[in-house]
Amino acid sequence: MRKFTIVIIMGLFSIFSSLFGCTPAEDFKSVEVDEFAQVISDTTVVRLDVRTAGEYNDGHINGAINIDVLKGSFDEKAEQMLPKDKTIALYCRSGNRSKKAARTLTKLGYNVVELNSGYKGWTKAGKEVVK
């Protein structure tokens, strides 16, 4: 009976830990504008804009390529276009879609740095863009 009680207690502990435990840290680095600028100053870093083509065409960070994270083909296009031996520095409009893209890319084996405040933060800080 005692062994059974211990097993039940341990099982309940595991369930509550998984339900109410801490969320694991992200596998990518999320940075603010100045640090992102420093990261992309390295010419080996790949700049990736994960917004829509229309948003990209309205203005983007110089040298960025565009793969829309909201399209179902994002994973496939990323694996075709992005080298796994380079750091991928990515951004979206405000930082929401880029976090989704960063999670996806890290699961695919990429080293990712994400711009926390997105393109809006970049332009608000007066950083250079291409239109």
Per the domain annotation, does 18 fall within a domain?
no
Angle subtended by helix axes 96-107 and 74-81, to nearest 10: 60
Percent of the chain clearing pLDDT 90 (strictly above) = 79
Total structural domains in the chain? 1
Domain, as residue range, for 67: 25-124
Tell me the per-residue pLDDT of 75-130, one tens digit each, with 9 for 90 and over: 999 999 999 999 999 999 999 999 999 999 999 999 999 999 999 999 999 999 99
Per the domain annotation, does 15 fall within a domain?
no
* pTM metric for this prediction: 0.81
Per the domain annotation, does 73 fall within a domain?
yes
Per the domain annotation, does 20 fall within a domain?
no
Per the domain annotation, does 84 fall within a domain?
yes
Per the domain annotation, does 14 fall within a domain?
no
The enclosing domain of 106 has a CATH number of 3.40.250.10
